[in-house]
Amino acid sequence: MIFVTGLPDWLVACFRIALLGEIYQNIRAIAVGYSEGSELLIRYYLDREPTDFDRESAEIVITNLEAAITEVRLSKVDVECIYTSDLQRDLPPLSGFIYARREIS
């Protein structure tokens, strides 16, 4: 999948709604990849190994997102939950970060 550079404003606005109540302390960042074919990849960067709770929370975000989007119909939505200890600046942003917690190195 080839992602666009930058996220459309309407998608950022929909994510703001979809993420309400679904950000918790173990999420370091959330990157989103968006393709012109209306395919979406949501990648959670976590500070520990992913659990069922992480996957369930991501599914809630997808449901909220699909309910909020009126501009296009998404053809595919994938979610990845990844543990990483890499510095935030070294994490792949895909099309852009939708959330990044403050980390002091």
What mean pLDDT comes out for the span 71-89? Answer: 93
Q: CA-CA distance, 43 to 21, in Å (whole number)? A: 18
pLDDT score for 45: 99
Q: CA-CA distance, 44 to 46, in Å (whole number)? A: 6
Residues in a beta bridge with 79: 42
Domains of the chain: 9-100 (3.30.300)
What mean pLDDT comes out for the span 59-76? Answer: 92
Q: What is the pLDDT of residues 28-49, one digit of tens each?
A: 999 999 998 789 999 999 999 9
What is the average pLDDT score of the chain? 94
Q: What is the pLDDT of residues 50-63, one digit of tens each?
A: 999 999 999 999 99
Give the pLDDT band of residue 86 (cuts 50, 70, 90).
Answer: very high
Q: CA-CA distance, 63 to 42, in Å (whole number)? A: 13
Residue 78 confidence (pLDDT) above 80: yes
The residue type found at 84 is: T
Question: In degrees, to the nearest 5, what angle opens at C-alpha 49 toward C-alphas 16 and 82?
Answer: 50
Q: CA-CA distance, 21 to 19, in Å (whole number)? A: 6
